[in-house]
């Protein structure tokens, strides 16, 4: 058996003004071509790693096309997207000219990719492959938990397998699951059929951590569904509200063996269960000061604050200043800001050198919503070119880059200043500059939940805070133009009279 492997992965925010170009995909080896896909991703905890593992186990031959990923960010220009998609399809043509038709295709996708002029980027990739493959050959895709799934994807794909974890630690496992489904399909053991139920629901990020209530129950029930007779796989997607596209929001997908009615009934039933409990997936805003007070009341350190409105992992610029300003106003010591994206400040630190003091206007340069820059004097404690190796539970075995970086200290507050917007969810970001997170009393991160995998074991308490930034989690503040459905908790209001808990 020969199975082609490829993918373009991007989580696109339509609310930021910058564009995610081909150069952004090429940055830090974000595009792997041909054999490089196998060499780079074999044994890693990403879906492509899982694809390779399952194909190898069954003696199937992988036909690597192209795998491209970039940091979450703004819209992808149409020509840049077309270049990647065309190359992927050309590589498929070349492989088939050389070795005959492939038996099926596995795609590693994200689910919230938006291209200029193409609202459903992932659906466009799937439809292009379906057209090339014809109606029979299996086409299976893996997706992030944060996909905005569409009917077009369900029509094009044989099966869809989404992550079950947030922080995302099951990518290789989901890749193996997709690999098993395609092998069993090709052996004639199963005939997967897919159905979707879209929910008019925006899910609060702090209510999505899959190993904690209330989300743990969602995943438990999902796994119960997967054990039902005739069900091959089930996926819940919490959606990505910062993509203004027609079909934005949460969804449930079920894959049944031969029985489309069963797939649809299963998706409908689980979606109804989620919808009835919609207030459980909502969390109201918490200010930085409120979170610090709650942390002090809990009395355990470090107090970890997730500045989720400036989560670079969601496409935010990473230079919002409210959390740092609050730390400085409160005169905190043993405090760490991980991080501030500010290339001017990083360069100023490098120009001055370790042990020197620099005058800075720090952060707040990308957009007025990110808050004004902070005028300060900072000591340069350490400098780095920004290269590091991930050693936390997510992405273990991969290398990362913060770009030109510096450890700056303003009073008792340490700031990791970086140039690249790689999401700071691993302690290696701080460690690579010589900072031990365990010695801190206060840590603020520009991440929404992924940091939990690495930081939960050392955290005294964790609080998602709502500081001013472009990716606000107060969805009533976002202005949508393309979204077609009224959603909870925006137009479909939160009823205060409801007997269900709000907190
Ligand atoms: Zn995600």
- Per-residue HEC secondary structure of 264-281 comes to HHHHHHHHHHHHHCHHHH
- 257 domain residue, yes or no: yes
- 137 domain residue, yes or no: yes
The alpha carbon of 348 is separated from its chain's Cα centroid by a whole number of angstroms, namely 31
77/36 same-domain check: yes
Q: Comparing C-alpha atoms, which of 209, 357, 456, 178 is closest to residue 445? A: 456
Q: Which residue has the tokens 């996708």?
A: 109
Long-range contacts of 126-131 (CB under 8 A, 24+ apart): 126/152, 126/153, 126/156, 126/157, 127/152, 127/155, 127/156, 128/85, 128/89, 129/89, 129/105, 129/156, 130/156, 130/157
pLDDT at 391: 81
Cβ neighbour number for residue 409 with a 10 Å cutoff: 15
Q: What is the 165 CA–ligand 1 centroid distance (Å)?
A: 9
Task: Report strand pairing: 461-465 vs 303-307.
Answer: parallel
Q: What is the 72 CA–ligand 1 centroid distance (Å)?
A: 10
Q: What is the 373 CA–ligand 1 centroid distance (Å)?
A: 29
Omega into 339 within 30° of 0, i.e. cis? yes
406/268 same-domain check: no
276/312 same-domain check: no
Range of the domain at 200: 2-281
Q: What is the 24 CA–ligand 1 centroid distance (Å)?
A: 19
- 488 domain residue, yes or no: no
294/361 same-domain check: yes
131: β partners: none
Q: What is the 351 CA–ligand 1 centroid distance (Å)?
A: 37
Q: Which residue has the tokens 């290269």?
A: 387
247/318 same-domain check: no
- 233 domain residue, yes or no: yes
214/267 same-domain check: yes
Domain total for the chain?
Answer: 2
Cβ neighbour number for residue 476 with a 10 Å cutoff: 10
Please say which residue of 281, 303, 320 terminates a domain: 281
Q: What is the 348 CA–ligand 1 centroid distance (Å)?
A: 34
119/266 same-domain check: yes
- 492 domain residue, yes or no: no
Cβ neighbour number for residue 442 with a 10 Å cutoff: 24
Rounded Cα–Cα distance for residues 440 and 416 (Å): 13
104: β partners: 3
Q: What is the 250 CA–ligand 1 centroid distance (Å)?
A: 13
- 272 domain residue, yes or no: yes
Rounded Cα–Cα distance for residues 46 and 60 (Å): 19
Q: What is the 145 CA–ligand 1 centroid distance (Å)?
A: 5
Q: What is the 143 CA–ligand 1 centroid distance (Å)?
A: 9
Q: What is the 482 CA–ligand 1 centroid distance (Å)?
A: 22
Task: Report strand pairing: 405-410 vs 413-418.
Answer: antiparallel
Q: What is the 450 CA–ligand 1 centroid distance (Å)?
A: 8
Q: Comparing C-alpha atoms, which of 173, 208, 244, 236 is closest to residue 447? A: 208
Q: Which residue has the tokens 């880059």?
A: 401
Rounded to 10°, the helix 121-133/78-99 angle is 20
Reduced to 3 states, what is the DSSP secondary structure of residue 389? strand
264/300 same-domain check: no
Rounded Cα–Cα distance for residues 317 and 310 (Å): 7
257: β partners: 192
Rounded Cα–Cα distance for residues 169 and 105 (Å): 23
Q: What is the 230 CA–ligand 1 centroid distance (Å)?
A: 28
Cβ neighbour number for residue 80 with a 10 Å cutoff: 20
Q: Which two tokens stand for residue 260?
A: 């489309």
Q: Going residue by residue through the chain (503 aa), what tens digit of pLDDT does each one get?
A: 999 999 999 999 999 888 999 999 998 679 999 999 999 999 999 999 999 999 999 999 999 999 999 999 999 999 999 999 999 999 999 999 999 999 999 999 999 999 999 999 999 999 999 999 999 999 999 999 999 999 999 999 999 999 999 988 899 999 999 999 999 999 999 999 999 999 999 999 989 999 999 999 999 999 999 999 999 999 999 999 999 999 999 999 999 999 999 999 999 999 999 999 999 999 888 999 999 999 999 999 999 999 999 999 888 999 999 999 999 999 999 999 999 999 999 999 999 999 999 999 999 999 999 999 999 999 999 999 999 988 877 777 788 899 999 999 999 999 999 999 999 999 999 999 999 999 999 999 999 988 998 999 999 999 999 999 999 988 888 999 999 999 999 999 866 444 343 33
Q: Which two tokens stand for residue 181?
A: 């489904």
Rounded Cα–Cα distance for residues 149 and 168 (Å): 18
Q: What is the 146 CA–ligand 1 centroid distance (Å)?
A: 5
pLDDT at 501: 37
35/176 same-domain check: yes
Q: What is the 248 CA–ligand 1 centroid distance (Å)?
A: 14
Residues 426 and 349 sit within 8 Å (Cβ to Cβ):
no
Q: What is the 322 CA–ligand 1 centroid distance (Å)?
A: 25
Q: What is the 307 CA–ligand 1 centroid distance (Å)?
A: 16
292/277 same-domain check: no
Sign of CA dihedral 434, 437, 442, 448: positive
Q: Which two tokens stand for residue 433?
A: 């500059």
Q: What is the 110 CA–ligand 1 centroid distance (Å)?
A: 8
- 311 domain residue, yes or no: yes
Q: What is the 46 CA–ligand 1 centroid distance (Å)?
A: 12
Q: What is the 334 CA–ligand 1 centroid distance (Å)?
A: 31
Residues 477 and 285 sit within 8 Å (Cβ to Cβ):
no
Rounded Cα–Cα distance for residues 265 and 243 (Å): 28
Residues 156 and 123 sit within 8 Å (Cβ to Cβ):
yes
117/210 same-domain check: yes
268/294 same-domain check: no
Q: What is the 372 CA–ligand 1 centroid distance (Å)?
A: 29
Q: What is the DSSP string of 451-501?
A: THHHHTTT-SEEEEE--S-TT-S-GGGS--SS--S--BTTTSPPPTT-SS-
Count of residues making up the chain: 503
Q: What angle do CA 34, 63, 58 make, to 5 degrees?
A: 135
- 157 domain residue, yes or no: yes
Please say which residue of 281, 297, 330 terminates a domain: 281
């Amino acid at each position: 058996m020969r199975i082609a492997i490829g993918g373009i992965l991007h989580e696109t925010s339509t609310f930021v003004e910058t564009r995610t170009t081909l150069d952004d995909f090429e940055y830090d080896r974000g595009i792997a071509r041909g054999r490089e896909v196998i060499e780079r991703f074999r044994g890693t905890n990403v879906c492509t790693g899982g694809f390779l593992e399952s194909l190898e186990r069954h003696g199937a031959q992988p036909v690597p096309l192209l795998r491209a990923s970039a940091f979450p960010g703004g819209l992808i220009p149409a020509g840049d997207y077309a270049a990647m998609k065309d190359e992927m399809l050309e590589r498929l043509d070349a492989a088939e000219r050389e070795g005959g038709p492939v038996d099926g295709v596995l795609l590693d996708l994200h689910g919230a990719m938006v291209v200029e002029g193409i609202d459903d980027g992932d659906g466009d990739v799937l439809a292009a492959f379906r057209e090339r493959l014809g109606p029979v050959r299996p086409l299976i895709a893996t997706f992030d938990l944060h996909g905005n799934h569409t009917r077009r994807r369900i029509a094009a794909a044989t099966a869809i397998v989404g992550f079950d974890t947030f922080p995302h630690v099951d990518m290789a496992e989901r890749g193996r699951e997709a690999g098993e489904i395609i092998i069993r399909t090709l052996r004639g053991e199963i005939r997967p059929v897919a159905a979707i139920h879209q929910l008019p629901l925006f899910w609060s990020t702090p209510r999505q951590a899959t190993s904690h209530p209330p989300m743990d129950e969602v995943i438990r029930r999902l796994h119960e569904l997967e054990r039902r007779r005739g069900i091959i796989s089930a996926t819940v997607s919490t959606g990505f509200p910062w993509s203004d596209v027609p079909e934005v929001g949460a969804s449930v997908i079920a894959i049944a063996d031969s029985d489309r009615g069963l797939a649809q009934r299963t998706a409908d039933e689980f979606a109804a269960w989620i919808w009835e409990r919609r207030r459980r997936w909502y969390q109201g805003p918490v200010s930085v000061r409120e979170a610090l007070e709650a942390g002090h009341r809990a009395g355990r350190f470090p107090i970890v604050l997730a500045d989720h409105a400036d989560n670079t992992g969601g496409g935010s610029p990473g230079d919002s200043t409210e959390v740092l300003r609050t730390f400085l106003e409160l005169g905190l010591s043993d405090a760490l800001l991980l991080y501030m994206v500010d290339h001017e400040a990083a360069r100023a630190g490098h120009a001055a050198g370790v042990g020197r003091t620099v005058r800075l206007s720090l952060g707040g340069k990308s957009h007025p919503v990110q808050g004004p820059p902070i005028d300060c004097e900072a000591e340069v404690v350490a400098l780095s070119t920004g290269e590091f190796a991930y050693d936390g539970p997510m992405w273990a075995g991969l290398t990362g880059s913060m770009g030109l970086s510096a450890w700056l200290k303003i009073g008792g507050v340490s700031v990791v200043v970086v140039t690249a917007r790689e999401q700071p969810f691993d302690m290696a970001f701080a460690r690579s500059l010589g900072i031990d997170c365990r010695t801190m009393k206060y840590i603020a991160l520009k991440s929404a939940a992924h940091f939990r995998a690495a930081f939960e074991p050392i955290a005294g308490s964790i609080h998602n805070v709502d500081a001013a930034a472009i990716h606000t989690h107060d969805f009533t503040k976002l202005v949508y133009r393309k979204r077609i459905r009224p959603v909870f908790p925006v137009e479909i209001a939160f009823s205060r009279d409801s007997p269900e808990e709000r907190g």
